[in-house]
Structures are given as C-alpha cells and as structure tokens.
Amino acid sequence: MKIRQIFISLLFALVAVSSFSMATEEAQSHHESNSEQSVEKKPYESKSVSQLAGSFLETTGLYAIFNTDDGETTSDPAGASKERPMGAFESSLGRVIMILIVFLLFYLAIAKGFEPLLLLPIAFGGLLANIPLAHMAGPEGMLGVIYNMGIANEFFPLLIFMGVGAMTDFGPLLANPKTALLGGAAQFGIFGSLVGAVMLGFDLQSASAISIIGGADGPTSIFIANRLAPDMLGAIAVAAYSYMALVPVIQPPIMRALTTKEERRIQMGVQRKVHKLEKLFFPIVVLMLSILILPESTPLIGAFAFGNFAKESAVIDRLSDTMQNSLINIVTIFLGLGVGSKLAADKFLVLESLGIMIIGLIAFSVGTAAGVLMAKVMNKFSKEPINPLIGAAGVSAVPMAARVVSKVGSEERPGNVLLMHAMGPNVAGVIGSAVAAGVLLSIFK
C-alpha cells in the first residue's frame, strides 16, 4: 500500500513537472508583469542576528507596554478615519487595568455563573482588543471584521432577538393579559435613569442610550447604543449583562422593602388554558400594533415576532429549531466578541463608563420598584388577587427575574409557585422595552 502511495506521489510530481515546464515561461512572464501590482514587498536589507533580535524586541508586547511613545494608534472597525494616536496611559497601564477587569468578568461568568453565555465572549473580546500592536479591533483584525459584519449594521442583535422570539412562550401573558401593564410600569427604570443620566451631565442622546440598560434586555441595549452612542457600546453592553446577571442580588431587598408579608403570601389561581390560535396570532398582533403606533420599534419587534411566529406556526420547525440553536449560538459567539472589542482601554477607560455603571444600577432598582408598586395598585383594584412580587418580573431579564419572583414568593409561603404568573410581566417587559426604545429613537430621528 505504501509503495502505491509513493508511486502516486511520483506520478503527481511527473505530471506536474511536465506541465510546469510547458507552463513556466509563459506563466512567469504574466506573473511577473502582474506582481508589481500585487503585495508590495519592501526591499530587504541585511541585518546581523543581534540587529534582528533587537528589532524583534521592539515588536514584543512587553516593549510596547513600557514604551508609550511608540506612535501606536487606537483601533476602530471603521478604519483610519476614526483612529487617533494612543495616549500614554491608554497604551500602558490602561491595558493592564482592562485586562484585570476582563479577569474579573471571567470570574463572575465562570465561578458565579453570571450570564456566562454573553459575558464570557464579551470579556474574551475585551482581552483580545487590549493586546498591543495586534490591532485586532481594527478593520482587518478578527474583532473588527466581526463588528463590521453584524454589529455596525445591527444585524446580530436582531438575529439574537429572532432566536429569543422563537424560544419565548407567550401563553402566560395571553392567559392573564392585564399583567402586561406590569411590564409597562417597569419601564420607569428606563426613563428614570434617563433623568439620572442627564443629571450626571450626559447629553440627552447619550443619556437615552444609557438609560435603555433599564430595559434589562441585551439585544435591545446593543441595538439602541449602536444607533445613539456607538462609542459607549462596550460599557452599555457590559453594564446591561452584568446587572441582568445581578438580578438575584439586586431585586429581593427592593421587593421585600416595598411589600408586606401578607402581600408576598398572596396566592394566585390556576391560569386559564390558551388556544393555540391565540399564540399563533399574538406575534402578528404585536407587530401590527407597533407598525401603526411606532414604526421605529419594528426592527426589534419584527425580528422577535418572526421568531415567535415561526415557532407557533408549527409548520417550519426545522427553521425555528435552527433559530433557537445553531443560528443563535453562532451569532452569540460573534456578538460577544464584537461587543468586547469596545472594551479597549481607549474606549472603555473614560469617566462615562463609571457613570454608566452607576446609572445601570439605578435603572434596575427603579424598574423593579415601579413594577412592584404598580402590582400593589393593581392588586387593590383587581377582582382576582395579584401578588405584588410579580411586578418585579416586569423588568424582563427573561427568565431570571421571573425565577427570582418565584423564589422570593415560595420563601414566604412554601409551595406558592408564582413562576408562570411572573412570566406574563416578564415577556411583556421585553415588548415594553422595545416600545420605549422606539420612542427614544423617534425623538432623535
């Protein structure tokens, strides 16, 4: 067998030699005339080994970090027009700090389980973006290619939203539609933090971009940040996902502070059965409504409705499975890396980022409080009892917030399962945030 293989190799070589010898002269002449235009090769000058080693040293990362006046420029996927010389801090200690922050994010994602599906790729993208000299976030680097492929044009967040739509069951909302209002109240988190951001000194457009963190919805945040304040995209995305991950820490104290023990012990009845046609029509109804009232929100709601409609139609299961699995996974990898490219020291280590972190915390707290208070009010006027805890699920952060509600509820009264009742406001919160996002976009159009 080996002899046969060697024979084949020889045959291959022979065919090649005979054809090459014919081809060479002609092809070479073409080739050379052409090579002038192709890759420009610099004239090579001889160097001694120690010269070579010396110039090699200047290309090491260690050298780059300790020599801040080496004329390195920042990287931007849009290319040279958006790049500028790096500051001394940005190209040295700044990178180190960012890499430490990245390690903190790794710790939170892996050891604490904080939304690892996005935090880990974002953090890794941040690590790659802070490598000196490699320009991975530039238009020809891997992160820049990804950014231009799907973030600059908002394609990836919409695909994620499509996949989330295909994973979402609106049954609980359809069974008890008035809980949708709780998902509305929680949007005070957005507009409250808008006021807060303006107070901190952000201009109105940046403040709007930041405030959407209060929507507790990753793709919506990225979509809006990209439109209104692309320079802050990294900080906004990191804040959004970090606080979504912190929902089990942030929400319970607020929920307990605003409710009495009796309210938290309220039991809610069994939900009515939902007709499958209701589920089928629902995404179309939502989309038609947003077309009539708020076309600015239709990219988000349209993608979401398409995913949900594909699932509920039950005739294109192989497509809806793909949306929920291989497609959303591929896009999640790319979205994370691309967003992470905005964690470069020169983009992230600005005072704004600190403000964004602070406002994000306010946004989640205000949203939670508004949802709970609204639920208290509704409980007063409703025939059927409403446990005010479910208002907290209105911030979205699907399905984490609903689980937190269920957990807090069952602590007060073991066996009191609020999960399905909390899913209604939870998914309504997604729609509410998309509407709020549409309003903000329409203002700055």
Of 367-406, binders to a second copy (CB under 8 A) are none
As a whole number of angstroms, the distance between CA 439 and CA 445 comes to 10
As a whole number of angstroms, the distance between CA 437 and CA 251 comes to 23
Q: Does 416 bind another protein (CB under 8 A)?
A: no
Residue 37 identity (one-letter amino acid): Q
Partner in contact with 215, chosen from Na ion, a second copy, another protein, none, beta carbon below 5 to 8 Å by kind: Na ion
Q: Does 287 bind a second copy (CB under 8 A)?
A: yes
Q: Does 89 bind another protein (CB under 8 A)?
A: no
110 or 417: CB nearest a second copy: 110
Partner in contact with 375, chosen from Na ion, another protein, a second copy, none, beta carbon below 5 to 8 Å by kind: none
Partner in contact with 350, chosen from another protein, a second copy, Na ion, none, beta carbon below 5 to 8 Å by kind: a second copy
As a whole number of angstroms, the distance between CA 5 and CA 225 comes to 59
- Tell the smallest beta-carbon distance from residue 186 to another protein (Å): 10
Q: Does 195 bind a second copy (CB under 8 A)?
A: no
Partner in contact with 429, chosen from Na ion, a second copy, another protein, none, beta carbon below 5 to 8 Å by kind: Na ion
Judged by CB under 5 A, the chain residues 203 through 262 that form the site for Na ion are 215-217
- Tell the smallest beta-carbon distance from residue 218 to another protein (Å): 13
- Tell the smallest beta-carbon distance from residue 54 to another protein (Å): 10
Could you tell me which residues are beta bridge partners of residue 73? 85
116 or 432: CB nearest a second copy: 116
C-alpha triplet 173, 179, 181: angle, nearest 5°: 120
- Tell the smallest beta-carbon distance from residue 226 to Na ion (Å): 18
As a whole number of angstroms, the distance between CA 72 and CA 137 comes to 14
Stretch that binds another protein, among 66-74, 107-115, 189-197, 227-235 (CB under 8 A): 189-197
- Tell the smallest beta-carbon distance from residue 187 to another protein (Å): 5
Judged by CB under 8 A, the chain residues 382 through 411 that form the site for another protein are 398-399, 402
Stretch that binds a second copy, among 59-67, 173-181, 370-378, 427-435 (CB under 8 A): 59-67
237 or 337: CB nearest a second copy: 337
Partner in contact with 298, chosen from a second copy, Na ion, another protein, none, beta carbon below 5 to 8 Å by kind: a second copy
Q: Does 108 bind a second copy (CB under 8 A)?
A: yes
Residue 249 has a CB neighbour count (10 Å cut-off) of 12
- Tell the smallest beta-carbon distance from residue 278 to a second copy (Å): 14
Judged by CB under 8 A, the chain residues 234 through 273 that form the site for a second copy are 246, 249
C-alpha triplet 300, 301, 305: angle, nearest 5°: 125
Q: Does 66 bind a second copy (CB under 8 A)?
A: no
Q: Does 286 bind another protein (CB under 8 A)?
A: yes
Judged by CB under 8 A, the chain residues 422 through 441 that form the site for a second copy are 439
As a whole number of angstroms, the distance between CA 299 and CA 195 comes to 26
Q: Does 44 bind another protein (CB under 8 A)?
A: yes
Under 8 Å between Cβ of 255 and 143: no
- Tell the smallest beta-carbon distance from residue 35 to another protein (Å): 17
Give how far the C-alpha of residue 405 lies from the chain's centroid of Cα atoms, to the nearest Å. Answer: 24
**Residues in contact with 48: Cβ distance below 8 Å, sequence separation at least 6, in sequence order:** none
Q: Does 298 bind a second copy (CB under 8 A)?
A: yes
As a whole number of angstroms, the distance between CA 364 and CA 148 comes to 31
Partner in contact with 435, chosen from a second copy, Na ion, another protein, none, beta carbon below 5 to 8 Å by kind: another protein
Stretch that binds a second copy, among 93-101, 177-185, 390-398, 425-433 (CB under 8 A): 93-101
Judged by CB under 5 A, the chain residues 50 through 89 that form the site for Na ion are none
138 or 429: CB nearest Na ion: 429
- Tell the smallest beta-carbon distance from residue 290 to another protein (Å): 7
As a whole number of angstroms, the distance between CA 114 and CA 291 comes to 35
- Interface residues with Na ion (CB under 5 A)? 215-217, 396, 429, 433
